[in-house]
Amino acid sequence: MKKVLILIALIISAANTQAQTKFFTKAGKITFDATTPSSPDKIFGSNDKATSVIDASSGAMEFALLMKAFSFDKALMQEHFNENYVESDKYPKAVFKGNITNMKDVDLKKDGTYTVKVKGNLTMHGVTKEVNADGKLTVKGGAIVNGVSKFNVLLSDFNVAIPSLVKDKVASEAKITVDINYDPLKAS
């Protein structure tokens, strides 16, 4: 009886590690930085509630975030970000859908950090633009556990207008960082 149980347990655990190709999170971290040397303050917001899914078998990945979940140190900056710049009442989400183009270089059987290239479409403020970024995927124990990336977005590409009065105080190109810890997606 015991042997049978152990066998069943082994089969189940083997099946689990075999079938696991999708990884996701509901707590991804994405930051936004539009500080310039002449900004009176750091124009920096962070969002810790981004969702993301990677399908390791195809390399497809996406992430999404809610604009209002960006948090700034200063209340007024957060208000301006939402009301004047990204108009989050009208456009509450930002979504990226794309592919890891060199997924074949990532070996899930070998722990390590892999450099990846990501290509896809970013939709924000009602505009969709192609974005290319370099990133790093960390593999541990047969699973993707972390993904990081840094890229810049030109705010004018997304119709985010910077009033001429503060033109030199808000960067025209925002630095975006993505830092996501992944969990295996349970097929329940």
Partner 1 sequence: MKRIILTASIFLTAAVAFGYYLFNKPHGSIIDETPIFSSKAVGLVDEYEADENSANTKYLGKVIEVEGTVSDKSMDEKGVLNITLKGGDLAGIGCQFDKNFQTDAMGFKNGDQVKIKGICTGILMDVVLVDCVISDNSN
Nearest to 148 by CA among 163, 138, 156, 139: 138
* Residue 129 binds partner 1 (CB under 8 A): no
Query: How long, in residues, is the chain?
Result: 188
The structure tokens listed for 63 are 């992430």
* Choice between 13 and 121, CB closer to partner 1: 121
Q: Which of 2, 3, 26, 186 binds partner 1 (CB under 8 A)?
A: 26
* Choice between 72 and 158, CB closer to partner 1: 72
Q: Which of 35, 51, 101, 152 binds partner 1 (CB under 8 A)?
A: 51
Q: Could you give the CA distance from residue 105 to residue 114 in angstroms, rounded to a whole number?
A: 8
First to last CA, the chain: 27
Residues in contact with partner 1, shown as a per-residue x/- string from 73 to 102 under the rule CB under 8 A: xxxx-x---x-----xx--xx---------
**Residue 167, by phi and psi: left (phi above 0), alpha (psi -120 to 50) or beta?**
alpha
Give the binding site for partner 1 (CB under 8 A).
Answer: 26-27, 29, 48-51, 64-69, 71-76, 78, 82, 88-89, 92-93
